[in-house]
Amino acid sequence: MIFITAKFHVLPEHAEAWPEISRAFTDATRAEEGCLWFDWSRSLDDPTEYVLVEAFRDGDAGAAHVGSDHFKAAQAELPPYLSRTPDIVSTAVEQDGWNELGELRVD
């Protein structure tokens, strides 16, 4: 799978509204056939920072995502709400979902 984590730094005046601002992009991405997950979290230390954790089935699914109309729309619509270019880590991982965290096992 392709595993991606990105940090979005939202302008302070838009930080509370970011979930709604990004909703159309989020919903459309989650509906993609090759999307395994697309989940936003908000930083506990910086209320203007949102972290996006996303995964796609494979490189073809990732390419379809980047080539989609909703991705292109997000490229045009989302930057005015951001204070800077998002940071990203993107890598191929030899698995197809989450594994248990064995070091913190709950029985």
Q: For 21-67, how does the pLDDT look when each residue is reduced to its tens digit (9 = 90+)?
A: 999 999 999 999 999 999 999 999 999 999 999 999 999 999 999 99
**pLDDT of 100:** 92
Give the H or E element holding residue 72. Answer: helix 69-77
pTM of the complete model = 0.93
The Cα 66–Cα 28 span in angstroms is 12
The Cα 84–Cα 91 span in angstroms is 22
Angle made by CA atoms 50, 27, 42, in degrees to the nearest 5? 15
The Cα 79–Cα 76 span in angstroms is 7
Domain boundaries, the chain: 2-92
**pLDDT of 60:** 96
CA 1 to chain CA centroid, Å, is 15
Beta bridge partners, 82, equal 10
Fold of 2-92: Alpha-Beta Plaits (3.30.70)
Query: From the CB of residue 75, how many other CB atoms can be counted at a distance below 10 Å?
Result: 11
